[in-house]
A and B are shown apart, each in its own frame.
Chain A
Amino acid sequence: MTYTGWILLTASLVGLSCGIVGGFLILRRMAMMADAISHTVLLGIVTAYLVTRELSGPHMLIGAIIAGLLTAVLVQWFHSRGVQQDASIGVVFTTLFAIGVILIATHVGNAHLDTKHALMGEITFVPWDVMHVPLLGEVPKATFMLAAVLLVVVIVILAFYKEWKITSFDPALAASIGIPVVLLHYVFMSLVSITTVASFDAVGAIMVVAMLITPAAAAYLWTDKLSIMLVLSGAFGVMSAFMGYYIAVWLDTSISGSMAFATGIVFVVSFLCSPKHGMLSRHVHRFGARRSKENIKGIS
């Protein structure tokens, strides 16, 4: 495959994984938890590096899962001790992130792992760092890891689809019929963590937030069906990846930055033009909506 081909494939895998996870993320009102975890995985990566002196896939994934779960547990714990939810998110992630940055500045130096790379990603290097995969031949490491993560995401989401749905919509009912709501919460946080860390080479730890939240929010405006929303959200993620790449090439600027920006374009278009919940259709249908609401009242 060509150089550009690998980059687009890698970015599309990011878009797909993030889009699918992001759909549930925004429905569970955890958009800011994603923001928090995307920062704290840095600490997980740095710690994993300091322990193993390696920047390879499995170590980073494990480090990221631990950091992500630690974030989720700490936020929950502070909240249960009377700190407002969003304040406790703010305390936890800034602290863990700051420790990560300090560790990089004081222990790691700029040789192997620099903060800017972790935050902004460096997708242009991805195609050169290859590994040998049976049957497929030479495949970039980051791409392979993203494909593996996407597979995990799809399997976990599909296997527990109805459980994700009910715990997102009505956790009290879910708990009352014996679904392990808390366990599922932490499984989900692990999914967010591995998606974030796998996307880290491509778009960086911060820009992954855009990929997680914005395509899902855009999809939420187009449909009233959960399954369609998840598919759309993944598609919007891929679309943003392509758009972002070509904008970056055109303006000769940061690829990850333009991909994040491209998710914004997709959202704005949806926000204005979606037939169901867009601004334009709202103005057009305002009168019609009022009338149909009166009809409903008449029937009931």
Chain B
Amino acid sequence: MSVLQVQDLNASYRKNKVLHDVTFEVEQGSLTSIVGPNGAGKSTLLKVMLELHPKLSGDVSFFGSSLSRMKTRVGYVPQRGSVDWDFPTDALDVVMMGLYGQVGWFKRPNKHHKEKAMASLDQMGMADYADRQISQLSGGQQQRVFLARALVQNADLYFMDEPLAGVDAATERAIMTTLNDLKMAGKTVMVVHHDLQTVEDYFDHVLLLNRTVIAHGKTEDVFTKEQVYRAYGGSLRWMKEA
């Protein structure tokens, strides 16, 4: 069963059209990486699907329904750099924010919410840092807090924007273990990914994107030299050297 259907999605960023007739469909339980060169519209795709960025045209359906009805089943992990880590709060509090949608208006998170948040921090190996101010965490630790926040949402479909960018090896392992656990539990995960070397090891599906869908499917079918070259155009060689 497909949990996400995207149909002829078009969107522009500032003046430029960044997404052109993007169409694809994602199966339940898949772990998909979205791969493409800089400016290919990867982050924008996530934001447009989540209605955080306006679309020009096209349709996105979640579990055969609209996003507004399925909001609690969809989780989002923004780029780490998109928030101000000097914000006066601690790691546990950030994780609890993932529950705010479930807590409801005019209510405070209670003990039960706190335990849930603690459990998911623990799952990411961050239980010892629960009361640490978030600016005093390393980059990898911050990313794990973000992952813990997504876990606590207990969604069925996750979108993650570059969760593996700039993290240490231990964090990378911890995150990949978590993603595989999610997959085993029947959840669906889409990850914007930048490291071509690890795509084959980490993901079972690949969506090659460069403003439009270049190829989409099982990693072994899609992640071929020719297809990747098509997606990256001339800039691939430059990337490998860099």
Interface residues of A (CB under 8 A from B): 27, 29, 82, 159-163, 165-166, 168-170, 172-179, 220, 223-226, 228-229, 296-297, 300
Contacts and interface: CB of A to CB of B under 8 A. Distances in A.
B83 interface: yes
A300 B87 contact: no
B133 A224 contact: yes
Given A170-B78, A223-B88, A300-B171, A82 B14 contact: yes
Contacts, number: 87
Secondary structure dominating the interface of B: mixed
Nearest to B87: A169
Nearest to B134: A224
Contacts of B89: 165, 169, 224-226
B224 interface: no
B170 A166 contact: no
A172 B88 CA distance: 18
B78 A172 contact: yes
Contacts of A162: 97, 100, 103, 108-109
Instruction: Determine the main DSSP class of A at the interface with B.
Output: helix
Q: What are the 9 A-B residue pairs with the smallest beta carbon separation, nearest first?
A: A177-B101, A224-B133, A176-B76, A178-B71, A172-B78, A169-B87, A170-B83, A226-B88, A166-B97
Contact of A163 (B14, B90, B100, B171): B100
Nearest to A169: B87
A293 B65 CA distance: 47
B76 A229 contact: no
A160 B106 CA distance: 6
B82 interface: yes
A179 B101 contact: yes
Contacts of A223: 88
A181 to B, nearest CB: 9
Contact of A300 (B76, B133, B168): B168
Contacts of B133: 224
B173 to A, nearest CB: 11
B100 A220 contact: no
B101 A224 contact: no
A229 B89 CA distance: 10
B226 interface: no
Contact of B100 (A166, A228, A296, A300): A166
A176 B50 contact: yes
Contacts of A297: 138
B149 to A, nearest CB: 8
Contacts of A170: 78, 82-83, 97
B207 interface: no
Contacts of B106: 159
Contact of B88 (A159, A166, A220): A220
Nearest to A292: B136
A194 to B, nearest CB: 21
B94 A169 contact: yes
26 contacts: A27-B88, A160-B105, A162-B100, A165-B97, A169-B97, A170-B78, A170-B83, A172-B47, A172-B76, A172-B82, A173-B149, A174-B100, A175-B50, A176-B50, A176-B74, A177-B71, A179-B101, A224-B89, A225-B90, A226-B87, A226-B88, A296-B138, A296-B141, A297-B138, A300-B141, A300-B171
B84 interface: yes
Given A163-B100, A177-B100, A300-B140, 19 more contacts: A166-B97, A166-B100, A170-B78, A172-B82, A173-B76, A173-B78, A174-B100, A175-B52, A177-B71, A177-B98, A178-B68, A178-B101, A220-B88, A224-B133, A225-B90, A226-B89, A228-B88, A296-B137, A297-B138
Contacts of A169: 83-84, 87, 89, 94, 97
Interface in B55-106: 68, 71-72, 74-76, 78, 82-84, 87-90, 94, 97-98, 100-101, 103, 105-106
A23 to B, nearest CB: 9
Contacts of A172: 47, 52, 76, 78, 82
Contacts of B94: 169
A175 B46 CA distance: 13
A300 B170 contact: yes
B30 interface: no
A19 to B, nearest CB: 15
Nearest to B78: A172
A26 B22 CA distance: 39
B100 A179 contact: yes
